[in-house]
Amino acid sequence: MDEHGDAAGTAVRTGPGDSGRTPVKYYQVGSFAVGNRLVALEQRTVQADPERSNALTSGHRACQGCGEALGARYVLDAAMRATGGKVVAVNATGCLEVFTTPYPETSWQLPWLHSLFGNAAAVATGVAAALAATGRDDVRVVAQAGDGGTVDIGLACLSGMFERDDDVLFVCYDNQAYMNTGVQRSAATPPGARTATTEAVGPDPGAPFGQGKDLPRVAMAHDIPYVATATVADLFDLEAKVETAMAVHGARYLHVLVPCPLGWQTASADTVRVARLATESGLFPVFAAVDGQVTSASRIRHRVPVEAYLRQQGRYRHLFPSEDRPGRPDVVARIQAQADANIARYGLLADGDGDGDEDGTRPPGSGVAGSGVAP
Amino acid sequence: MLRQLEGSRAIAEAVARCRPQVVCAYPITPQTHIVEALGAMVKAGELAPCRFVNVESEFAAMSVAIGASATGARAYTATASQGLLYMAEAVFNAAGLGLPVVMTLANRAIGAPINIWNDHSDAMAVRDAGWVQLFAESNQAAVDLHLQAFRLAESLSLPVMVCVDGFVLTHAFERVDLPTAEQVDAFVPPFVPRQVLDPDHPVSIGAMVGPEAFEEVRYLGHVKQLRALEEIEVVAAAFVDHFGRQGGGLVQPYRTEDADVVIVAMGSVLGTLEDAVDAARDRGRRVGVVGLTTFRPFPADALAGAVSGARSVVVVEKAFSTGLGGVLATDVTLALGGRTGVATVVAGLGGRPITQASLTGVLERACDGTLEALTFLDLDRAVVDRELARMDASARSGPSAENILRDRGERARGPR
Amino acid sequence: MTGRPEAATEAATEAATAVAEQVTPDGAAPGEPFAVTLEVGSSLANHTGSWRVERPVYVHRLPPCNDACPAGEDAQGWLYRAEEGDYEGAWRHLVEENPFPAVMGRVCYRPCETACNRGELDEAVGINAVERFLGDEALRRGWRLPDPAEPSGRHVLVIGGGPAGLSAAYHLRRAGHQVTLREAQGALGGMMRYGIPLYRLPRDVLDDEVQRLVELGIEVELHHRVNDLAAELDERSFDATFLAVGAQLAKRAYVPAGDSARVLDALSLLSGAEQGTPPVLGRRVAVYGGGDTAIDAARTARRLGVTEPVVVYRRTRDRMPAHDVEVGEAVEEGIRLRWLSTVAGFEGGELVLEEMVLDEDGLPQPTGRTERLEADALVLALGEEADLSLLASLPDVEVRDDTVVVGSGAQTTHPGIFAGGDAVAGDRTVTTAVGHGKHAAGQIGAWLAGRDLVLPARHELATFDHLNTWYYADAPKQERPRLEAARRTSGFSEVVFGLAEDNALFEARRCLSCGNCFECDNCFGVCPDNAVAKLGPGNGYAFDLDYCKGCGICAAECPCGAIAMEPERR
């Protein structure tokens, strides 16, 4: 098997700052899976590596199926690999902090500091400044917060970190509400979604339209070297973006969609699936921007209407008809319009059909580099 | 080396000699000259490898200091008044995490009404945060306390706040004896953090602690502060050894031997008080002053010893707890075993001058036993009474501060 | 791949112990602030597995290809090996069930591909093409079939050297039994030789695979037609007998025909062509029938110089029993198809065709309208039946509808006599016959040992809804190249070529591995609790139930449906 191990295809790596996506071209089944026994080790994800750092290890108290626990390990393990294990993490208050470090146990396996809810970016700036001042240039800083700690209470510090171009990768694990305190609305809560402070009652049930912050674009407006979005449903993309981010110095921002079974009222098994539907519907665009300009966007592979995404989630239940309510097709249509706008803005649909090329799956003999087969 | 310097410049020079590694600040009057000077020194490369971070708020300033300190860097910032309140959450946090940040507080009143002048309301507002709080009587003391602050903070793994009266000290030009870099290096050893973010020895700092251990954590913080009382004296003694002068410690008694009346106070008012005491002594009054250099931890025993012979104790303080009275006076009363006869004089709020004439009046009344339990020094009763009358007459009399300003303006112009 | 959950648990416990030894009884890191600062990884002491109400388990579900294979091949299993480029391993896995991959890769009608889940995604995996590649590779490299087991001392007679008989002989021999194979013809292969034209199955391929099988030590007696089974069994004692005499008697239909009319049956056309004695056909030939044999006969006739072959069938193309692949190739070769027609007469070089209509039940009904079609010969391809005269002397062997009656154990009503292939009821394909042979061999072995054959329970079927197909890259099917139609009819050259190695590898890798782990690492990666241990190449994974909270993401995100969630037992 070994001599055939690299027969599966060729990874085409792009340079830092090129695009978030590292297209790994295989003609192998399971190309989008975490790993594959047929693929060379370096072409698998970090998560496929039994020696991955497990920066966030077992025994944490996240809910079953927590997208944030998954996303945090994905990001930090990738950052650990990219830096040879030289990462310091700074954490805002929130679920991620609470479920990982209740005294006397911590689930972290890297140096980690939690200070406050709203100051993760500034604390990370201090860490970066201290590392620079003490000559430890090989150690890198990752700050992480939920959407509240990013777009709301943490925004001032984050914006300051951005504009100073401090050497920090700030990661927002966006689950679209204040989950730790019981699912209250944040400025990242999407329109129509039920939260404890935007109940599904009255003429405009759920979170209002016309509000909220699009933090990736806010970040881009700072002209920082790298801004990207990702989800827990596309690990290759997420890891490539972390790798790209860690290859750059200065302020970097990664916005990761992490479904929350509690707040979204989804089945715990559906965390990855719901994230996938968010991108395949166009509601959550996955893209990368260098120096304030969008440089790449992940194409939708199998487009679905937003309804396919919304119907998975109890927080949108009021939008659909049932015995005791007529449903709100008008609201669903407005959400669909948002998805359509994202698709247009970021060019999320492939030009023409292009399925095979997108996947890098071409038959041998069709003249595509990398389709060679071991003798 | 004696130099004629602005207080802020002297503080900046002192901090610079302590070789800070990360300095961050957000401008607020009257702290600005300190961080401007440090910023210039960093930019010129004089403090290399120190990093100077222009943050977007005081909250960020303390947060940057927290991050830097937890990463093993000597971190410094400065603020005042509203800035301290804006960073209050992080102030508590730095202490809770046991991070030896040093901060200068250029004491200033807190609004509303907004006011840029000196009093101690800001420092008092964070007295329970867990920081060591030192008060400078003079610019020389400010320099000396900053040198000790870094050593204290790092040996205790606690943050230290050096309180310096805004404008009165920060903007005053005085002769200051600035030690050489070599002298400071000998006195302030390199920072050896008790905990540090290090990939080679990872730890999790800032855990959530529930009811099962929170009280113990708080109690340990208290014990740390009590131990700091000893360490402050040890460092003060070392300071004398290194620099040949007094310049720290817990309390500074002045002519308290045989005193019937002892005034207790903090900060720059002590100079005026000492002059007033000298004058009173000249008149045959047996009075003295005890200056508190250390406010937190509260030097209860040292204070009790210093005032043990006094018939009455008068606390002159630049802050008060609305609806109660003196803040410092409350602590003093507690320290003296709840003894009666502790009078409070609230003075100098919002920068109002504390004149020797007024203090002399306080001393005389104290000696005569006619000093009221709570005195607001130089309060314009007429203004207050007119506003109270307006308030009583109408439920919608408007904001008191504006009414009083208008009232005073009209009186200054005379009746029309 | 049952995994070793205890290994993962042990590792976690060791890690937790190691952490516990480093920290103080209060959980504080030594020398660091109490409670606020903690030693890393200490949460391993918190066994979140207690939250679980469902637990994941690795399962093997039955891939539809395997389920559909009449020969019982583990197609997913050997594709798994082929995906790795381990062609010999794949071939060895394959011949566990079927000793004729090169033949199968040419003649099987591929029920596996019809069932393949990938067909719902884009196109079915070309399982048959890969099978042929493996078969040809084995012949090219001279891979040998596995050696027989130690001699059992039992002797089995196999009657008939077609696919059923050969398959039975193979499996019996491998089990260590002595096997005598009696074949009426002068060569082994049965319908593979006398019913399938050369252009579909070159004889060197057949000969090589048969020879390789015989070399296992099967005693072959050619030209030995068994006319009286009772007599033969009296003559020489066998411990058991497998009857696989096939079905070679052409069914006839009454066609009013003049004396000069040339009417013959498809089997004699095909076997004549095989034996170098093709019948004289003329220029225009009609083949009457709608099965694969009809198509084979028409295509053979085309190669024998017939310029205008036409297939006449009573119903419509979609109701034709012949397989689409064959019909398609026939059309390419210029064979005309005439639907809804019966042959009402054949006289004076003209066929009388009566037009039919389908009634509500889809049955053809005569309309009375006729037309005429010029023809030099009429080939009847109306099916075959078995010649069971050898059983006349054994009246206790029950025969019904011209087939031998067997129970589920392949045994006839006469103890010790088993039967399979076209002589029993069922699909009359080579693959089915191979399956019968294997099945009967197993039953005979059990019967000889005096026990019942207990087959393992079939796994739950890995239907399409068990898959998470997002993870599979789109990959177009690799079609086998074919001889240009213009060059086909000039001779009996093989029409369909094999895949080149890289195409075969690509095609193997299109397999979705339905219901069976292919080590994609998804479960290992997507667990929010690190509760999956990776056991190394070939060893799969194990759930660490100390930490597994039972969220079910692993099962939901398993591409191939190899994880099931089961209620927790407490």
Task: Provide ipTM, 2 decimals.
Answer: 0.95
- Which SS3 state, helix, strand or coil, does residue C534 take? strand
What is the helix (H) or strand (E) element at residue A113, kind and residue range? strand A112-114
What is the helix (H) or strand (E) element at residue C284, kind and residue range? strand C284-288
The yes-or-no verdict on residue C461 having pLDDT over 80 is yes
Closest CA to C219 of C290, C161, C280: C161
The yes-or-no verdict on residue A364 having pLDDT over 90 is no
Examine the domain organization and report whether C259 and C348 are in the same domain. yes
Examine the domain organization and report whether B260 and B400 are in the same domain. no
Contact with chain C for residue A69, Cβ under 8 A: yes
Which single residue is written with the structure tokens 């009046």?
Answer: B361
Closest CA to A69 of A49, A98, A89: A98
Residues 6+ apart with CB under 8 A from B254: B270, B273, B274, B277, B288, B289, B290, B291
pLDDT at position C453 is 86
Tens digits of per-residue pLDDT, A299-326?
A: 999 999 999 999 999 999 999 999 988 9
What is chain A's mean pLDDT, rounded? Answer: 88
Residue ranges in chain B whose pLDDT is less than 70: 410-416
Contact with chain A for residue B208, Cβ under 8 A: yes
Residue C281 or A14, more confident: C281
Examine the domain organization and report whether B205 and B258 are in the same domain. no
Examine the domain organization and report whether C83 and C169 are in the same domain. no
Given a contact cutoff of 8 angstroms between Cβ atoms, the answer to whether A93 and A149 are in contact is: yes
Residues 6+ apart with CB under 8 A from C484: none
Cβ-based burial of C153 (10 A; exposed 0-12, middle 13-18, buried ≥19): exposed
Given a contact cutoff of 8 angstroms between Cβ atoms, the answer to whether C409 and C436 are in contact is: no
Q: How far is B212 from chain A (nearest CA, A)?
A: 9
pLDDT at position B414 is 54
**Which of A28-32, A297-301, C261-265 shows the lowest mean pLDDT across its residues?**
A28-32
Chain A residues whose CB is inside 8 A of the C44 CB are: 57-59
- Is A102 in Cβ contact with B199 (below 8 Å)? no
Range of the domain at B394: 381-413
Examine the domain organization and report whether B319 and B407 are in the same domain. no
Residue C4's pLDDT band (boundaries 50, 70, 90)? very low
Closest CA to B250 of B263, B268, B237, B260: B237
Residues 456-515 of C with CB under 8 A from A: 468, 470-476, 478, 500-503, 505-506, 509-513
What is the helix (H) or strand (E) element at residue B343, kind and residue range? strand B342-346
Contact with chain C for residue B217, Cβ under 8 A: yes
Burial C120-144 (b: 16+ CB within 10 A, else e): ebbbbbbbbbbbbbbbbbbbeeebe
CA-nearest residue of chain A to B60? A122
Does any domain span residue C150? no
What is the helix (H) or strand (E) element at residue B3, kind and residue range? strand B2-6
Examine the domain organization and report whether B177 and B318 are in the same domain. no
- Is A4 in Cβ contact with C84 (below 8 Å)? yes
pLDDT at position A18 is 37
Examine the domain organization and report whether C427 and C364 are in the same domain. no
Contact with chain C for residue A370, Cβ under 8 A: no
List chains adjacent to chain A, taking adjacency as at least 3 C-beta pairs closer than 8 Å: B, C
- What span, in angstroms and rounded, lies between the C-alpha atoms of A80 and A242? 10
Examine the domain organization and report whether B44 and B165 are in the same domain. yes
Given a contact cutoff of 8 angstroms between Cβ atoms, the answer to whether C245 and C159 are in contact is: yes
Examine the domain organization and report whether C307 and C426 are in the same domain. no
Examine the domain organization and report whether C53 and C200 are in the same domain. no
- Which SS3 state, helix, strand or coil, does residue A48 take? helix
Residues 6+ apart with CB under 8 A from C271: C194, C195
Which single residue is written with the structure tokens 């030590």?
Answer: C217
Examine the domain organization and report whether B214 and B257 are in the same domain. no
The yes-or-no verdict on residue C13 having pLDDT over 80 is no
pLDDT at position B1 is 80
Examine the domain organization and report whether B217 and B344 are in the same domain. no
pLDDT at position B218 is 95
Nearest beta carbon to residue A50 from set C12, C44, C534: C534
- What span, in angstroms and rounded, lies between the C-alpha atoms of C215 and C563? 43
Does any domain span residue C455? no
What is the helix (H) or strand (E) element at residue C106, kind and residue range? helix C101-107
Look at chain B and report how many structural domains it folds into: 3
Burial A173-190 (b: 16+ CB within 10 A, else e): bbbbbbbbeebbbbbbbb
Examine the domain organization and report whether B58 and B194 are in the same domain. yes
Residues 128-157 of A with CB under 8 A from B: 128-135, 139, 156-157
Chain C residues whose CB is inside 8 A of the A4 CB are: 84-86
Examine the domain organization and report whether C208 and C289 are in the same domain. no
Q: Is there a cis peptide before residue C5, judged by omega within 30 degrees of 0? A: no
Given a contact cutoff of 8 angstroms between Cβ atoms, the answer to whether A213 and A207 are in contact is: no
- What span, in angstroms and rounded, lies between the C-alpha atoms of B23 and B74? 9
pLDDT at position A374 is 31
Alpha-carbon torsion, ordered A31, A32, A33, A35, to 10 deg: 50
Taking one residue from A and the other from B, the number of pairs with CB-CB distance under 8 angstroms is 167
**Strand order from edge to edge, sheet including B374-376:** B251-254, B287-292, B261-265, B312-317, B342-346, B374-376
Beta bridge partners of A108: A56
Examine the domain organization and report whether B283 and B161 are in the same domain. no
Residues 154-173 of A with CB under 8 A from B: 156-157, 159-160, 163-164, 166
Q: What is the CATH number of the domain that holds B366?
A: 3.40.50.920
Q: What is the CATH number of the domain that holds C225?
A: 3.50.50.60
Chain C residues whose CB is inside 8 A of the A309 CB are: none
Cβ-based burial of B272 (10 A; exposed 0-12, middle 13-18, buried ≥19): buried
Contact with chain C for residue A109, Cβ under 8 A: yes
Chain B residues whose CB is inside 8 A of the C35 CB are: 207, 209, 213-214, 216-217
What is chain C's mean pLDDT, rounded? Answer: 91
- Is A267 in Cβ contact with C474 (below 8 Å)? no
Contact with chain C for residue A309, Cβ under 8 A: no
Look at chain C and report how many structural domains it folds into: 4
Residue A329 corresponds to which tokens in the numbers above? 């097709």
CA-nearest residue of chain A to C544? A58
pLDDT at position B411 is 66
Given a contact cutoff of 8 angstroms between Cβ atoms, the answer to whether C370 and C344 are in contact is: yes
- Give whole-number Cα distances, A136 to B235, B262, C322, in Å: 31, 54, 76
Q: Is there a cis peptide before residue C537, judged by omega within 30 degrees of 0? A: no
- Report the 10 Å Cβ neighbour count for B231: 17
Contact with chain A for residue B209, Cβ under 8 A: yes
pLDDT at position C29 is 56
- What span, in angstroms and rounded, lies between the C-alpha atoms of B88 and C69? 74
- What span, in angstroms and rounded, lies between the C-alpha atoms of C370 and C374? 13
Examine the domain organization and report whether C94 and C21 are in the same domain. no
Residue A345 corresponds to which tokens in the numbers above? 């803005």
The yes-or-no verdict on residue A360 having pLDDT over 80 is no
Tens digits of per-residue pLDDT, A68-126?
A: 999 999 999 999 999 999 999 999 999 999 999 999 999 999 999 999 999 999 999 99
The yes-or-no verdict on residue C16 having pLDDT over 60 is no
- Report the 10 Å Cβ neighbour count for B202: 23
Homologous superfamily of A44-359 in CATH? Answer: Thiamin diphosphate (ThDP)-binding fold, Pyr/PP domains (3.40.50.970)
Q: What is the CATH number of the domain that holds B224?
A: 3.40.50.970
What is the helix (H) or strand (E) element at residue C242, kind and residue range? strand C240-243
For residue A5, give the DSSP letter.
G
Examine the domain organization and report whether C420 and C536 are in the same domain. no
- What span, in angstroms and rounded, lies between the C-alpha atoms of A107 and B144? 44
Q: How far is A324 from chain B (nearest CA, A)?
A: 43
pLDDT at position A103 is 93
- Is A106 in Cβ contact with C530 (below 8 Å)? no
Given a contact cutoff of 8 angstroms between Cβ atoms, the answer to whether C68 and C124 are in contact is: no
Examine the domain organization and report whether B260 and B395 are in the same domain. no
End-to-end Cα distance, chain C: 25
Backbone angles phi, psi at C245, to 5 degrees: -85, -5
- What span, in angstroms and rounded, lies between the C-alpha atoms of C385 and C372? 31
The yes-or-no verdict on residue C280 having pLDDT over 90 is no
Q: How far is A221 from chain C (nearest CA, A)?
A: 33
The yes-or-no verdict on residue C511 having pLDDT over 90 is yes
Residues 6+ apart with CB under 8 A from B307: B256, B262, B264, B290, B313, B336
Does any domain span residue C458? no
Contact with chain A for residue B65, Cβ under 8 A: yes
Distance of CA C245 to the CA centre of its chain: 21
Q: How far is C26 from chain B (nearest CA, A)?
A: 9
Range of the domain at C48: 5-60+517-567
Counts for chain A of helices (H) and strands (E), in that order: 12, 10
Closest CA to C26 of B213, A338, B194, B398: B213
Which single residue is written with the structure tokens 């890769």?
Answer: C105
Examine the domain organization and report whether B232 and B279 are in the same domain. no
CA-nearest residue of chain C to A111? C40
Q: What is the CATH number of the domain that holds C560?
A: 3.30.70.20
- Is A126 in Cβ contact with B71 (below 8 Å)? yes
Burial C411-436 (b: 16+ CB within 10 A, else e): bbebebbbbbbbbbebebbbbbbbbb
Nearest beta carbon to residue A126 from set B59, B67, B93: B67
Does any domain span residue C287? yes
- Is C37 in Cβ contact with B205 (below 8 Å)? yes
- pTM score, whole prediction: 0.90
Examine the domain organization and report whether B160 and B279 are in the same domain. no
Strand C384-385, strand C249-250: pairing? antiparallel
